[in-house]
Amino acid sequence: MASRKELSSVSSSGMASTGGTLDSPVKQVQIEGLVVMKIIKHYQEEGQGSEVVQGVLLGLVVDDRLEITNCFPFPQHTEDDADFDEVQYQMEMMRSLRHVNIDHLHVGWYQSTYYGSFVSRALLDSQFSYQHAIEESVVLIYDPIKTAQGSLSLKAYRLTPKLMEICKEKDFTPEGLKKASIGFENMFEEVPIVIKNSHLINVLMWELEDKSTVADKHELLNLSSSNHLEKSLQLLMDRVDDMSQEIVKYNTYSRNLSKQQQQKHQYLQRRQQENAQRQSRGEAPLPEEDMSKLFKPPQPPPRMDSLLIAGQINNYCQNVKEFTSQNLGKLFMAEALQGQN
């Protein structure tokens, strides 16, 4: 097989903490062209109806690079088949692929997304179980709508070690999160992606270029933007609504808590007063009652959901900004061209 070299890639700022290197075992993800095409094809054929389309990534780990050399799609969740089917499907697939010398090591999974809305509990859980089992796994998020607009949108994410800790403890109370000092920015880290092709595939590319027609691949320069903006803003508004609900919940909780503190305080004071009175009258003081039984503290609401929503909102905003910056560029270009006429 041809020897492989690598080129350091351009990393795009996403939800990761920008600047500085990632302190994780995987610093870069190298994807083969074949995998990219398979993911695109899978969404195109099977993903028009339902929201997400998922699959497994196969490959190997070399130094601090994660090489993804192949992938296979997962069937959709149908009503009749149970989970058992999935595990068996996966096992069979991997066994068969091993026969034809394809890397059969699980290194992650991919998912398609709708306008960038992928930060959800399900994703977190799946990625956590993957990362727990395999240290270097990533989740590839493919955005088909952004791709259709002109540029391939593929991002690789991992959970930060801090978030892994928290998921392990399952401690989602506010105190727990405060201890780990996690904000929505430290939830996921983005890993830069490089696309790599072998020589033979490059030959294939030359052939294709020769034989295929020059398609109108100028979607990228399309000036219309309102449709996409509208949808993104709609999703953003929904999320902000969810967020405000969470905030209200948290506020009521803290108000309840402080009210309860007050009540406890008052009760204690009354107790003490009574005891003082009784003492002055010469009677035995009343026994101290167990505070915790009298005043049950309210349940602190889990903060994980609000964290996820915050992360999602951040993602939406980021996408919207990218989109608007592109469109502004196009508009200025159009203006310059018009000025010349």
46 binds another protein (CB under 8 A): yes
Positive/negative CA dihedral, 91, 92, 95, 100: negative
Question: What is the pattern of x (binds another protein, CB under 8 A) and - over residues 233-262?
Answer: x--x---x--x---x--x---x--------
Give the nearest distance from C-beta 166 to another protein in angstroms.
Answer: 14
Contacts of 331 (CB under 8 A, 6+ apart): 223
Give the nearest distance from C-beta 21 to another protein in angstroms.
Answer: 16
Contact with another protein (CB under 8 A) among 105, 204, 291, 294: 204
200 binds another protein (CB under 8 A): yes
Give residues 88-117 in contact with another protein (rule: CB under 8 A).
Answer: 89, 92-93, 96, 99-102
Residue 97, CB-side half-sphere exposure with 13 Å CA sphere: 19
Size of site (CB under 8 A) for another protein: 110
Contacts 24+ apart (CB under 8 A), 41-45: 42/73, 43/112, 43/142, 43/144, 44/144
226 binds another protein (CB under 8 A): yes
Which of 267/298 has CB closer to another protein?
298
Q: Residue 254 has which token pair?
A: 């803290």
Give residues 293-322 in contact with another protein (rule: CB under 8 A).
Answer: 303, 310, 313-314, 316-318, 320-322
207 binds another protein (CB under 8 A): yes
Which of 155/167 has CB closer to another protein?
155
With 0-12 CB in 10 A as exposed, 13-18 as middle and 19+ as buried, what is 339?
exposed
Q: What are phi and psi of 92, to 5 degrees?
A: -65, -45
Place of tokens 């992928």: 118
336 binds another protein (CB under 8 A): no
Contact with another protein (CB under 8 A) among 24, 120, 173, 327: 327
Q: Residue 327 has which token pair?
A: 């469109």
Place of tokens 């904000």: 183
Which of 7/87 has CB closer to another protein?
7
